[in-house]
């Protein structure tokens, strides 16, 4: 039995606790197309700006009422800052995921150091699955992105099988490996509303989302890849954290009545990750009422 200290049943319930990792050892490496393009242009990390942007994100989260918890940054883990991938909170506790990239596999050790044994509900053992591909949309509905490059079918099937045993509706969403994770092209921003690269997702997947009552606000390919524009974090109560440089998207979200908190995060987005990647919600208020 797990203690269920950590709990989420959606991507949009009010956030009370979140896991991050300081960017002490963060660096851009040519492991994804976004970082490769950034480095090809001769751009280099500004480490002073990097640290300031991380502090700004933490301040924004704390200001919104979320308690921030931190992994211990370890040498040799350049992408440990992207805490979304190495574990996944569920309604039944934490799942320790199974990272595919060799430069990231050692992150599992620090994850197991952070969580108490009773926090861990399951550990992925088949194939690979990363948290950036997992979207617990709302109670009873979960989707997992599958590219074969970060999350493969075996990993997705094992993870979704646990939810199916609990009676949840599930879906695998396939897209090209170029896009890294599902949260690069699709993210919920509030109940029944998401932003999505609609020209990237298959029509069958778009139809499926709409059949679930989810309205999709369109994000362009350029916004998704250049700006990590879909990679935002819902805070609950119609609030969302979105990077400052995503100006059109932020105005689109505000036009929907959402409060947008917009820290600067371009030192991270240029390496292939942004706010959603950098945060693993540990606890959200349940969307189940009554």
- pLDDT, tens only, 35-84: 667 667 776 778 899 999 999 999 999 999 999 999 999 999 999 999 99
Q: Can you give the pLDDT at residue 35? A: 62
Q: Can you give the pLDDT at residue 224? A: 94
The predicted model scores a pTM of: 0.94
Q: Can you give the pLDDT at residue 3? A: 52
List of domains in the chain: 15-284 (3.75.10.10)
User: Taking the chain (290 residues) in consecutive chunks of 10 residues, what is each chunk's mean pLDDT?
Assistant: 79 98 84 66 82 97 98 94 97 97 94 96 98 98 96 98 98 95 98 97 98 98 92 98 97 98 89 90 89
Yes or no: say if 203 and 249 are a contact pair by the CB < 8 Å rule: no
Q: Can you give the pLDDT at residue 1? A: 38
End-to-end CA distance of the chain: 25
- Separation of CA 5 from chain center: 20
Count of C-beta atoms within a 10 Å radius of residue 183: 29
Which residues contact residue 64 at a Cβ distance below 8 angstroms, ignoring those fewer than 6 apart? Answer: 15, 235, 239, 241, 261
Q: Report the alpha-carbon angle 225-231-237, nearest 5.
A: 155
Q: Can you give the pLDDT at residue 134? A: 98
Q: Can you give the pLDDT at residue 41? A: 77
């Amino acid at each position: 039995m797990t203690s269920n200290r950590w709990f989420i049943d959606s991507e949009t319930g009010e956030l009370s606790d979140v896991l991050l990792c300081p960017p002490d050892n963060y660096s851009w490496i040519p492991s994804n197309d976004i970082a490769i393009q950034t480095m090809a242009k001769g751009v280099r990390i500004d480490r002073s700006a990097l640290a300031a942007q991380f502090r700004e994100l933490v301040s924004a989260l704390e200001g919104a009422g979320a308690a921030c918890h931190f992994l211990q940054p370890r040498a040799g883990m350049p992408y440990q800052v992207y805490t979304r991938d190495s574990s996944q909170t569920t309604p039944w506790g934490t799942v320790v995921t199974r990272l595919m990239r060799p430069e990231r596999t050692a992150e599992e050790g620090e994850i197991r150091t952070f969580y108490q044994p009773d926090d861990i509900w399951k550990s992925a053992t088949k194939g690979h699955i990363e948290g950036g591909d997992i979207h617990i949309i709302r109670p009873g509905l979960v989707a997992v992105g599958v590219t074969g490059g970060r999350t493969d079918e075996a990993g997705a099937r094992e993870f979704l099988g646990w939810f199916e045993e609990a009676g949840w509706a599930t879906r695998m969403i396939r897209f090209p490996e170029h896009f890294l994770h599902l949260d690069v092209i699709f993210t919920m921003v509030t109940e029944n509303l998401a932003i999505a690269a609609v020209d990237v997702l298959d029509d069958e997947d778009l139809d499926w989302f709409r059949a679930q009552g989810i309205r999709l606000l369109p994000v362009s390919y350029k916004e998704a890849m250049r700006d990590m524009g879909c990679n935002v974090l819902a805070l609950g109560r119609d609030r969302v954290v979105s990077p400052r440089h995503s100006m059109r998207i932020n105005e689109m979200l505000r036009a929907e009545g959402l409060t947008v908190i917009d820290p600067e995060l371009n030192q991270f987005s240029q390496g292939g990750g942004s706010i959603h990647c950098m945060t693993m919600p540990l606890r959200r208020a349940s969307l189940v009422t009554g």
